[in-house]
């Protein structure tokens, strides 16, 4: 019947991916206390969900008659390479990218807007004489240009190797896996655009491959988000387990660890992690983690940060050392992570904390 909506197999897969995208976005935005960290990944998954909605929209009769909806979906699609770039930086540095990096959004928002307008308003664009193309051709061409630009910028930044490594090896592997997946997702998307523009593949075949890659990416993220995003964005996943009493061996392990922390201060050394602590104590990482979790009800990295913060507060009150120097002297990998952890624990930045203590001593 006229007006009926009939979905192909590809569009059914796209529809199945829309829900998880918006679920992930809502999960990220629900952590409103850490909205500075969760805004970017939440925006990314909204854009990814919009991409699938855009592909499904072709099955809806006269959907382009709503120019506002159509243009919004097209803009979201064009934002994906640049948002991927920013999200990779957030994974790399463990903090929201600096404002200067956000200028890459000018590529799709400003440069791509005229092409979006052509797609919405024109059925064909003629350059000269008989040379005419569908406006989607020009939009794809510009999207490839934008993706190539941000990819070259990403390669330059990654070449510096300034990564923040999570305290747990399993989290590091998952984080790097997602970075690689984000890069491959965008490269395959650009490759399909190139093949389609060169008439090496049919549009429906290219769309099906994009769909399969997109759906696989979404479900890969779903399988990792509760672990990777917990460390990267300050979430604490819930663990349901039976309470276990500390054994005499565990108590002795914790006592020796506390003694070592107070006397040797190993947490102030760059690169100090759970593996090195376990080696110093002569136990396995698993044994150390269980003992710390039962004794402190916190993870190893949280306990280390508490010691670092205690030392940092002492230095801020008793010395005039610059905040940057104190951050590295107390074992933090970067000034950004120091500021973030310090503010989460005290509600103040290190500089504001020092000023407060100075004013009270007068």
Q: Tell me the CATH class for 248-361.
A: mainly alpha
Three-state SS at 168: coil
Three-state SS at 52: helix
Say if pTM beats, i.e. exceeds, 0.85.
Answer: no
Q: Output the pLDDT for position 241.
A: 45
**Residue ranges of the chain whose pLDDT lies below 70:** 1-10, 31-34, 57-67, 128-130, 161-172, 174, 223-245, 357-362
* Domain segments of the chain as ranges: 9-233, 248-361
Q: Output the pLDDT for position 215.
A: 81
CA distance 258 to 175: 30
Q: What SS3 string covers 206-239?
A: HHHHHHHHHHHHHHHHHHHHHHHHHHHHCCCCCC
Tokens 């205690």: give the residue. 310
Q: Output the pLDDT for position 33.
A: 62
The 10s digit of each residue's pLDDT in 301-329 is 889 999 999 999 999 888 889 999 999 89
Q: Output the pLDDT for position 66.
A: 62
* Burial class (CB within 10 angstroms; exposed 0-12, middle 13-18, buried 19+) of 320: exposed
Can you identify the CATH homologous superfamily of domain 9-233?
A: Rhodopsin 7-helix transmembrane proteins (1.20.1070.10)
Name the β-bridge partners of 131. Answer: 128
CA distance 308 to 312: 6
Closest CA to 256 of 225, 288, 226: 288
Q: What does the DSSP assignment read for 113-160?
A: HHHHHHHHH-S-EEEETTEEE-HHHHHHHHHHHHHHHHHHHHHHHHTT
Q: Tell me the residue length of the chain.
A: 362
């Amino acid at each position: 019947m006229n007006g009926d909506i009939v979905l192909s197999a590809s569009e059914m897969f796209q529809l199945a991916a829309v829900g998880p995208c918006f679920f992930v976005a809502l999960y990220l935005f629900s952590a409103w206390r850490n909205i500075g960290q969760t805004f970017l990944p939440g925006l990314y998954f909204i854009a990814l969900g919009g991409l699938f909605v855009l592909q499904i929209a072709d099955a809806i009769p006269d959907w382009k008659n709503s120019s506002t909806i159509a243009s919004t979906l097209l803009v979201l699609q064009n934002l994906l390479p640049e948002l991927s770039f920013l999200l990779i930086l957030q994974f790399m540095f463990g903090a929201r990218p600096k404002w200067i990096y956000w200028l890459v959004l000018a590529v799709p928002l400003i440069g791509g807007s005229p092409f979006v307008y052509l797609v919405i308003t024109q059925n064909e664009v003629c350059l000269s004489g008989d040379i005419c193309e569908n406006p989607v051709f020009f939009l794809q061409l510009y999207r490839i240009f934008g993706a190539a630009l941000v990819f070259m910028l990403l390669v330059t930044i990654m070449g510096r190797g300034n990564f923040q490594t999570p305290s747990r090896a399993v989290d590091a592997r998952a984080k790097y896996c997602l970075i690689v997946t984000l890069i491959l997702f965008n490269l395959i998307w650009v490759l399909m655009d190139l093949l389609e523009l060169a008439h090496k593949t049919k549009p429906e075949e290219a769309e099906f491959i994009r769909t399969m890659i997109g759906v696989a990416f979404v479900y890969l993220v779903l399988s990792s988000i509760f672990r990777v995003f917990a460390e990267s964005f300050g979430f604490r996943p819930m663990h349901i387990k039976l309470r276990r009493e500390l054994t005499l061996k565990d108590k002795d392990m914790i006592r020796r660890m506390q003694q070592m922390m107070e006397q040797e201060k190993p947490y102030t050394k760059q690169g100090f992690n759970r593996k090195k602590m376990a080696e110093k104590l002569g136990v396995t990482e698993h044994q150390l983690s269980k003992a710390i979790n039962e004794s402190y009800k916190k993870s190893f990295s949280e306990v280390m940060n508490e010691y670092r913060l205690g030392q940092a507060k002492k230095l801020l009150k008793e010395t005039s050392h610059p905040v940057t120097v104190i951050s590295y002297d107390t074992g933090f990998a970067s000034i950004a992570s120091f500021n973030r952890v310090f503010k989460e624990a005290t509600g103040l930045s290190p500089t504001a904390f020092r000023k407060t203590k100075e004013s009270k001593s007068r």
